[in-house]
Amino acid sequence: MRQNPDYLLTRLAGVAYLLPYGQMIASQRRGIQLNETGVVIWELLKNPLELPELTELAAEEFQISPDDTEEFRQDVEHFVFLLKAHGIILEEPAPVLEEACRYLDIAGLILKLCGPKEAFSEEFAPFEISFDHPAQEKCYTDQTIVVSEDEPPLRENGVYLFRDPQLCVYETLDCYVLLFPSSSVLKEARLAKSGKRAVFYCTPPYDDTLVYELFHAIRIAFLYLAERHDMYAIHSASILYREKAWLFSGSSGTGKSTHTGLWNQYYHTPVINGDLNLMAIADGHAVIYGIPWCGTSGICDTRTYELGGVILLKQDETNRLLPLSDDQKQLFLLQRLISPLWNKSMMRHMLSFIERLSVRISTFRLGCTISQEAVDVIKNEIDKDFSA
């Protein structure tokens, strides 16, 4: 525990008060009157202390007798609880053992995972990296993910931006609070608006359910960071053909995984990712980056590929290309993105990205059945561009 630096200890007509200033005023936080015991406890918290150590030092200061120690401890505990409730005392993050940290390189962004080793899915393993020198860690880390067993801090005033049965997003002045209504093991997460830090509050044990849910919750924090670096995720399965990535996307049940499977069956095209692809524009070219999230397919890739195009699938009785106007291409691509879209600013950045992306790739809409003919219709169209 430590002092909140946005409170000042002062005396008004000889009476001690802790008064808020700066952001605490904007957050409508109130001051509090202190007795002399409270003043001593506040002064002791200039340096971070845990409650037992704080109680011991305060007892020494007031020369509390052994017979009164338990009553004094309860009084200090109650006082500290009140200060925490008002945000006057802040929790000091628990130190994380170095051996409990892992580093990942996903799409050129370095993630530091901090917490119990058993909390993190082994699906992260192909993206794990190490540093030659410890100093590089701070220089290159883009996002720190912390897993905590503590209770989440009291929530400040804010507003809900997004709600569905799986995720609620609550915005405060300093962060986004992520709530997981359907989860019994993820209490909530705090995501810094910079994207540089996310803390996930979990209920152990770290069984398969918790590891699975945490893996997918971390995806939200990562995609928020990626979006700030102009990278966006599209719900799609991808193959490698003619040294470019081709994404197959459609509403649930359309058969994107089935379609990529047909390509692999008839033309031996490798599948890059079975469910999700991260798109970006690098050096003027559209690309996709490998990411660990791939749905139930279990197929993902760590590499980067130039993006040839997106095929938007639509179930049909025949196999045929359906016409798309330029605005429809952008609209349909936008509708398939699953990156965070929590406010107007995010929407504007996403629209700008889609506009720049759409002129760099081919976008087709394919009415199709589950057949080799469906594969050949789009394959022949792709081949035309290479033979032109």
What's the CA dihedral at 171, 172, 178, 179 to 10 degrees?
-100
Q: Would you say residue 97 has pLDDT above 50?
A: no
From residue 43, alpha-carbon distances to 8, 48, 59 in Å are 11, 11, 14
In sequence order, the 6+-apart residues with CB closer than 8 A to the CB of 24 are: 4, 6, 7, 87
User: Closest Cα partner for 312 from 361, 358, 366?
Assistant: 366
DSSP codes of every residue in 128-155: EE--SSTHHHHHHEEEEEEEE-SPPPPP
User: Closest Cα partner for 104 from 85, 124, 123, 89?
Assistant: 124
Out of 147-151, 154-158, 286-290, 310-314, pick the least confident.
154-158
Q: Is 364 helix (H, G, I), strand (E, B) or coil?
A: strand
Q: Which residue has the tokens 């033979």?
A: 387
The percent of residues above 70 in pLDDT, for the chain, comes to 94
Q: Would you say residue 134 has pLDDT above 70?
A: no
Q: In this structure, are residues 241 and 272 in contact, taking their beta carbons and an 8 Å threshold?
A: no
Number of Cβ atoms within 10 Å of the Cβ of 165: 8
User: Closest Cα partner for 235 from 278, 197, 201?
Assistant: 278
Here the tokens at position 50 are 């845990």
Average pLDDT (253-271) is 92
Q: Domain-by-domain residue ranges, the chain?
A: 2-90, 98-228, 232-387
Here the tokens at position 238 are 């991808």
CA-to-CA distance for 115 and 172, rounded, in angstroms?
A: 25
CA-to-CA distance for 352 and 123, rounded, in angstroms?
A: 32
Q: What is residue 252's predicted lDDT score, i.e. its pLDDT?
A: 78
Pairing of strands 320-322, 304-315: unpaired
Q: What is residue 94's predicted lDDT score, i.e. its pLDDT?
A: 47
Number of Cβ atoms within 10 Å of the Cβ of 60: 9
Average pLDDT (348-365) is 97
Label residue 100 by pLDDT band (50, 70, 90): low
CA-to-CA distance for 344 and 221, rounded, in angstroms?
A: 19
Which tens digit of pLDDT belongs to each residue from 33-49?
A: 989 888 998 898 888 88
Q: What is residue 52's predicted lDDT score, i.e. its pLDDT?
A: 87
Q: Would you say residue 24 has pLDDT above 80?
A: no
CATH code of the region 232-387:
3.90.228.20
Q: What is residue 92's predicted lDDT score, i.e. its pLDDT?
A: 62
Label residue 20 by pLDDT band (50, 70, 90): confident
Interhelix angle 208-228/344-358, nearest 10 degrees: 70
DSSP codes of every residue in 342-361: -SHHHHHHHHHHHHHHHTTS
Q: What share of the chain is helix, strand, coil (3-state, %, to 5)?
A: 35, 30, 30
**Dihedral of alpha carbons 56, 3, 191, 167, sign:** positive
CA-to-CA distance for 10 and 228, rounded, in angstroms?
A: 42
